[in-house]
Amino acid sequence: MTSQAALTAGMRFRLSIMLDRPLRGHEVERALQGAPVDVATLRPAQEIFTSAPVFVGMADPVPQRVIFFWGDRDTVPLVVPPEAPKPKIDLNSYQPARRDGGGLTLDHLYAAILKAGEGRRRMTLFGCAARSMDLIREGKASHDEVFSALGSAALAAGTPGTRAEIAKHISNGLARGAAGGLA
């Protein structure tokens, strides 16, 4: 059980299973998709400690927090579904379209990347990708449109790096935007 067991409502526990082969966290996450699993525990940066909490002035309401169950085998096979194919995005396909009206548009972000000075283009690309999450949330642009627009602008501006590196900058910026932006 977790350290919060008996302190908060509901049952919380960690289940450790020895698999029949090494798997990465994202593979296990794919295999357990839809299961009530805290996927943060599958990430290599997430350390999991097994110990009882310290109670001052009272006894532990759950004195036995670790229980071992032994089955008929030492390891368990896990079927990992194949990874869904990633869409191919043409970084050269975006053509800015002038629109009337105010507010943030892909055209504004495209122009910001083009105007970025040398040495600031990657940072501008990252920031524009983070800001583009607002457009995605509002239904004003899709992920593919964002990749196409920002990738095209980055290439047109001469942003250093390969296409894969540019796509990674956009992906990282989108992740930052999804996590709450550039506070």
Digit-by-digit pLDDT tens for the chain (183 residues) are: 455 555 566 666 777 788 899 988 888 888 988 888 877 777 777 677 767 778 889 888 777 777 777 778 888 899 999 887 766 655 555 555 444 455 788 888 999 999 998 888 889 999 999 989 888 888 888 888 899 999 999 999 988 888 888 988 899 999 888 887 555
* 37, 77, 107, 167 from 26: Cα distances, Å: 13, 16, 34, 20
What's the rounded Cα separation, in Å, for the pair 109 and 56?
55
Residue-wise pLDDT tens digits, 92-132: 555 554 444 557 888 889 999 999 988 888 899 999 999 89
pTM of the predicted model as reported, rounded to 2 decimal places: 0.48
Structure tokens at 145: 């449109």
State residue 170 phi and psi, 5-degree precision.
-65, -45
Locate the domains of the chain by residue range. 1-83, 106-178
- φ/ψ of residue 89, rounded to 5: -115, 125
**Torsion region of 180: left, alpha or beta (phi above 0 gives left; psi -120 to 50 gives alpha):** left
